[in-house]
Amino acid sequence: MSINNVADTGLPTHALPKLNPEQQLVAEYYQHQALLCQWFATLLAAELNETTLQAYMKGDAAPLLDGLASIDELSESVTAVQNAINGLSALAQPRLELAADFASLFLSDARHSPAPYASLYLDDGRFNGPSFQRMQARLTAAGYGVDADFQEPADHVAIMLDYLAESYRRLALDPTPEAEANLALFVKEELASWLPELASRAQKIETASAFYPTLLTLIAAYFYS
């Protein structure tokens, strides 16, 4: 995870309280949203290690992708990601080549790569601008801080997705209308508003595998579905 708890939130950390059937459905929905956002965050926070890569190549990502494919608007994007995963076995050194793709896309100079920071897209290319400040304020208000090992600003896409995952987990426990509205506004204005451009820029970078460009296209489409 790219964020961690830095304060006692007062929320329970174990099983959900006893719920009626309708409440259970709502809780399960938000838990599933949290799972997907956490997965996306993990994929964009760091390059895949050998264990995870081999697991994906053996089909371990299929359950999550199959679930996304059931959404009509996402089926094409899901197929592209699955095809990219299937094509990894054709690479001479899949992990190293994917790591190089990750660096080219996310770690290079922003003038030559689709840097994964909200400020670049929402603040006229100004890093650590208002978008960063708003995200930092959200993390502080929620009792989170950026993990010391993840040396990135608060408006990095992985941090924003991690925050979203944690927020969905909180909604699973206490789905108040105000919290739901606030999170929906965050998704619409702070995340979904720039992900398509990030995905579009990624398509223009030459990579050994289509994995990351197709993944970004899927993530962008997911928040518009």
Q: Indicate the domain borders of the chain.
A: 20-46+73-222
Alpha helices (H) along 46-176: 50-57, 62-69, 75-86, 94-102, 118-122, 130-142, 157-173
- DSSP assignment letter at 190: I
Confidence of residue 221 (pLDDT cuts 50, 70, 90): very high
- Which of 161, 121, 160 lies closest to 137, judged by CA? 160
Length of the chain: 225
- Which of 206, 127, 165, 145 lies closest to 43, judged by CA? 165
Residues 6+ apart with CB under 8 A from 55: 61
Q: What is the pLDDT of residue 109?
A: 82
- DSSP assignment letter at 3: E
Q: What is the pLDDT of residue 211?
A: 98
pLDDT in tens, 72-125: 999 999 999 999 999 999 999 999 999 999 999 999 887 778 999 999 999 988
pTM of the model: 0.91
Question: Which CATH number is 20-46+73-222 given?
Answer: 1.10.3480.10
Residue type, 53: L
- Are the beta carbons of 79 and 189 closer than 8 angstroms? no
Cα 195 to Cα 31, 117, 130, 179, distances in angstroms:
22, 10, 17, 23
Confidence of residue 5 (pLDDT cuts 50, 70, 90): low
Of 8-22, 60-74, 128-142, 146-160, least confident by mean pLDDT is 8-22
Mean pLDDT of all residues in 32-42 = 96
Confidence of residue 51 (pLDDT cuts 50, 70, 90): very high
Of 5-14, 149-158, 193-202, 210-219, least confident by mean pLDDT is 5-14
In angstroms, the CA 118 to CA 156 distance is 7
Q: Does the pLDDT at position 135 exceed 90?
A: yes
Q: Residues of the chain with pLDDT > 70: what percent?
A: 92
Mean pLDDT of all residues in 161-167 = 96
Residues 6+ apart with CB under 8 A from 83: 210, 214
